[in-house]
Structure 1
Amino acid sequence: MTTFTSEWIKLRSVRSTHLLLAIALGAVGLAALIAVSAVGAYEASSPARRATARMAELDDVVVAVPQLCLGILGVLAMTSEYATGLIRVSLTAVPRRWPVLAAKGVLVSACALVVGPVVVFGTAISSRAIVDGRYPLLPLADRVPLMVVSSLSVVVFALLGLGLGAVLRNAAAAIAVVVGVVYVIPMIVGNLPEPWSERLGSGMIGALPGEITGADLTNSVYGSLLPPWAAVLVLVAYAAVPVLLGFVLLRRRDA
């Protein structure tokens, strides 16, 4: 309990934590602005264009913001101690070492469990209220399973960042990997020739919530080859593999 309390004090006393959480939650406001812009475009269109007008589900679009922010929060929760040298004090106070990483994991996961649903569900509800039936969107109830899994993907990114921070011990390198997972690798995979685009795209985090819930991915830039059980395993692996590797290296390496 002392380790948990200590890690909580560290996390909440750093300004970057508050900034990252504010940016993540601000994604709801960003989605609202996009919805307002879409409504303006709809109202300015002719009746013929209105009949064929379509709008993306904005919660699918803006979920990348909390994913990235909580991924960076996970990175900084670990690497900031290496940058300041505080890690030596932490590991001296907790000789077994693994409780330090475990406490950080619980805390960043808790933050993600709050932020993810707030952004995903807040975006879906507010965007529908703003659009007010102008665009043909799926009923909110039909999208709840997908939104739940999308919210949980934010937790995956938080743990991914934490694990990478423990493995690389360098904030810039770990954040670069997180950004690559969110943006760069999916862009590269999406431009590969078939069947590699479909095969590799099916393993991207952006594809996994849809594959888990059986959502229609016909127009998705990702693949849709994995059955739900396999997609669950891949999603868990994104978080579990770096965290477990971080546990191993934290015990074996000098601070």
Structure 2
Amino acid sequence: MSGRGRGVTFAGVVAGEWGKLTGLRSTWWAALVSVVVSGALTYVSAEASSGDPGYEPLGDLTAGLVLTQLGPLVLGVLVGTGEFSTGGFRSAFVAVPRRWLVPAAQAVAVAGFALPLAVGCVAAAVLAVFPAASSRGLPVDLGGGSVPWELAGMVVFLTGLALFGFAVGALVRRVVPALVAVCCLTLVLPVVLTLAVESGGAAFAGEVTPQERAANTVMTLLPSGAGGLLVMPSDALPVAGGPDLGAVGGGLVFAAWALVPFGAAVVRLRLRDVT
């Protein structure tokens, strides 16, 4: 796959973008903070809940995801907006006339970095549950039941968040608006919807009201809700009133949150001026 008469290959563009990504100190700091936060929050949650009679060590594995997800999100946004915030897009598109190769290569670089980062975050979470489990004399069976799938789902979830942040950043092209957008969609809006449901209440005990149904449907279809289905135990019940997507359906919705803005960013790049 080459550029128009300039010998530009996709592999070469990927290598260039990988060098830019890994050459920044902020990239490594974001990775380090993400791993530390994942381990620390999981440890605190496990220690706090270990006194419960029915304590299950592996039930705390996802406790740190609420804040851990910020690292991959921010990393993706910074890569997606990087060329435009620094003005580097001018030289980038001179060197690579086929513009779409640049965001495609950036996406590969982001995924390549986010995947081991996600594995590190999950490994930190796993290690963090051992102290609480050992204090209770409870085994930690990582190969039992649906645990391997949940661990894999956590890796996919964190990697996908980095790609989601990158896609929004590439489309918006400005750091602050892109960060506000991804944080609102993944963190703020779910909280607002939850508070709206709680303030509305239910007409009868156990009844799902139209307000709850609408809010839970939206929450399930948001990036954090759809991606969260990837890390749910296989026997977990769906959210009351929300669509029962399952892990596969949730994964498809989650993927759409990254693919749609990425596709829009590529179309904008090809049809409009890059400024």
Determine if the TM-score, normalized by the shorter chain, exceeds 0.5: yes
Q: Which residue of 2 aligns with 1:19?
A: 29
CA contact (8 A) 2:83 2:89 kept: yes
Q: Which residue of 1 aligns with 2:121?
A: 119
Deviation, 1:55, is 7.4
Q: Which residue of 2 aligns with 1:234?
A: 253
- CA distance, structure 1, for counterparts of residue 114 and residue 241 of structure 2: 24
1:29-64 per-position Cα deviation (integer Å, ceiling 9, x unaligned): 31354157427x83xxxxxxx536677833312123
Matches within 5 A, 1:148-163: 148-163=152-167
Please give the TM-score of this superposition, normalised by the length of structure 1: 0.83
- CA distance, structure 2, for counterparts of residue 73 and residue 234 of structure 1: 22
CA contact (8 A) 1:25 1:118 kept: yes
Matches within 5 A, 1:193-232: 193-208=211-226, 211-212=229-230, 215-218=234-237, 223=242, 225-232=244-251
Q: Secondary structure at the match of 1:18?
A: helix
Identify if the C-alpha distance between structure 1 residues 56 and 220 changes in structure 2 by more than 3 Å, giving closer, same or farther. Answer: farther
1:84 to 86, 89, 103: 86
Q: Secondary structure at the match of 1:140?
A: coil
1:212-248 per-position Cα deviation (integer Å, ceiling 9, x unaligned): 5663445979946224442232021111111111111
Deviation, 1:114, is 0.7
| 1:243 is aligned to 2:262 | yes
- CA distance, structure 1, for counterparts of residue 247 and residue 64 of structure 2: 23
Identify if the C-alpha distance between structure 1 residues 210 and 7 changes in structure 2 by more than 3 Å, giving closer, same or farther. Answer: closer
CA contact (8 A) 1:57 1:137 kept: no
- CA distance, structure 2, for counterparts of residue 229 and residue 29 of structure 1: 27
Deviation, 1:113, is 0.9
Q: Secondary structure at the match of 1:60?
A: coil
Identify if the C-alpha distance between structure 1 residues 135 and 201 changes in structure 2 by more than 3 Å, giving closer, same or farther. Answer: farther
Matches within 5 A, 1:40-189: 42=51, 50-51=52-53, 57-132=59-134, 134=136, 139-141=141-143, 142=145, 143-189=147-193
- CA distance, structure 2, for counterparts of residue 252 and residue 16 of structure 1: 32
- CA distance, structure 2, for counterparts of residue 52 and residue 67 of structure 1: 28
Identify if the C-alpha distance between structure 1 residues 105 and 210 changes in structure 2 by more than 3 Å, giving closer, same or farther. Answer: closer
1:121-156 per-position Cα deviation (integer Å, ceiling 9, x unaligned): 431243134332639898433322122112101121
Q: Which residue of 2 aligns with 1:47?
A: none
| 1:2 is aligned to 2:47 | no
Identity within the alignment, %: 25
What amino acid sits opposite 1:198 in the alignment? N
Q: Which residue of 2 aligns with 1:46?
A: none
What amino acid sits opposite 1:17 in the alignment? T
- CA distance, structure 2, for counterparts of residue 65 and residue 110 of structure 1: 21
Number of residue pairs matched by the alignment:
247
- CA distance, structure 2, for counterparts of residue 79 and residue 34 of structure 1: 35
- CA distance, structure 1, for counterparts of residue 111 and residue 34 of structure 2: 14
Identify if the C-alpha distance between structure 1 residues 199 and 138 changes in structure 2 by more than 3 Å, giving closer, same or farther. Answer: farther
What amino acid sits opposite 2:112 in the alignment? A
CA contact (8 A) 1:20 1:73 kept: yes
Gaps in structure 1 of 5+ consecutive residues: 43-49
What amino acid sits opposite 1:70 in the alignment? P
Report the aligned-residue RMSD: 3.0
